[in-house]
Amino acid sequence: MKQIYLLLLGCGCSLSAFAQDDLANMFQDSIKKHEPVIATFKSTRIIQGNSIETLKKHELDFRVDHRFGDIGGEFGGGKTAFGLDNSSDIRIAFEYGVSDRLMLGLSRSKGSGGLTQLYEALAKYQLITQTTDDHIPITVTLFGNTVASGATSSTVKSDAAYFDKFSDRVSYTGQVIIGRKFNRSLSLALLPTLVHRNRVTYMDENDVFAIGGGGRLKFSNRMALLVEYFYPFRSQETKDYFKKQGRELYNPLSVGLEIETGGHVFHINFTNSTAILENQFIPETTTSWLQGQFRWGFNISRRFSL
């Protein structure tokens, strides 16, 4: 009888061990199945607009963005070396990963349009992350910034750059970025965006809602094609008024080539917008691809682990 008890006890221990192993394996498999998708985009920007990516914890990103002058049209051509003699906008930024989901940043831009000498504070938070097993099929990231102009106030009260009080200098952008990596080569993003400007010119709109879209098509280990487009929803009355004033509004369209070089991500891009920040290029693009009023530029991103 004693031997039977010992045999049953041994079998019970073995079954218990097997059960624990099975549970552990199931738990590990569950973790593996829900692994987050990485490198949907290689940079925190697509071209002009934001991607779903945020910086990793304690990662510092030093960014330089540059836009030259018109390649063609009245202000382009050979006399300006196809825009290389001119600069429509320049941005220098430091962005930092507070956690793997939250990043903060500061930047200074030349500005292009109604306001210049722009100081930006930004925040970006990855709300949910796509998983490799499609348990979560998309990544959703929230972006917001506050931009203030440091320029001297205009003396003309009807100008957008006339500042009666400090709040007249300030604008804001709020954005929801919804992205998905479909395979190793293709990633797409949708960017519902709201731009609010405290002060605008006569007949302009303080609030401009826009829908943006962007994509990345990787065609080699270190190179990818980028495309980006924004459609601002403006009243027809506003568009007609500005057109009569000789200031027709256009939708920002950009294409680019992404080159990854170790710690650098380098973008060569072409766009019809003269400004870099969403606060300006979404509501204030007044140049057209069809008239040669597009320019080439570059984005350089260099990351450091602190």
Tokens of 79: 């006399």
Backbone angles phi and psi of 107, in degrees to 5: -150, 160
Helix (H, G, I), strand (E, B) or coil at 27: helix
Q: How far is CA 179 from the centre of its chain?
A: 11
pLDDT digits (tens, 9 = 90+) for 72-94: 888 888 899 989 999 999 999 99
Determine the pLDDT at residue 261. 84
pLDDT-derived band at 9, boundaries 50, 70, 90: very low
d(Cα 37, Cα 21) in Å, to the nearest integer? 28
Tokens of 188: 């797409």
pLDDT digits (tens, 9 = 90+) for 32-81: 578 999 999 999 999 999 999 999 999 999 999 999 999 988 888 889 99
d(Cα 142, Cα 120) in Å, to the nearest integer? 16
Averaged pLDDT for residues 241-256: 94
Backbone angles phi and psi of 96, in degrees to 5: -135, 135
With a cut of 70, say whether residue 300 has pLDDT above it: yes
- Answer left, alpha or beta for residue 2, where phi above 0 means left and psi between -120 and 50 means alpha: alpha
Averaged pLDDT for residues 113-139: 95
Least confidently predicted of 21-35, 44-58, 202-216, 288-302: 21-35
Q: What percent of the chain has pLDDT over 70?
A: 90
Averaged pLDDT for residues 232-243: 93
For residue 61, the cross-strand partners are: 95, 303
Q: What's the number of CA atoms in the CB half-sphere (13 Å) around residue 101?
A: 10
Helix (H, G, I), strand (E, B) or coil at 2: helix
Averaged pLDDT for residues 260-281: 92
Least confidently predicted of 21-35, 187-201, 220-234, 253-267: 21-35
What is the model's pTM?
0.87
Cβ proximity of 111 and 280 under 8 Å = yes
pLDDT, mean over the chain: 90
> Between these two residues, 144 and 79, which has the higher pLDDT value?
144
Averaged pLDDT for residues 256-284: 93
Give every CB contact of residue 205 below 8 A, 6+ residues apart in sequence. Answer: 234, 235, 238, 283
> Between these two residues, 225 and 30, which has the higher pLDDT value?
225
Burial class (CB in 10 A: 0-12, 13-18, 19+), 37: buried
Determine the pLDDT at residue 8. 39
d(Cα 127, Cα 135) in Å, to the nearest integer? 15
- A 10 A CB-CB count for 251 gives 16
Q: What percent of the chain has pLDDT over 90?
A: 79
For residue 174, the cross-strand partners are: 144, 194
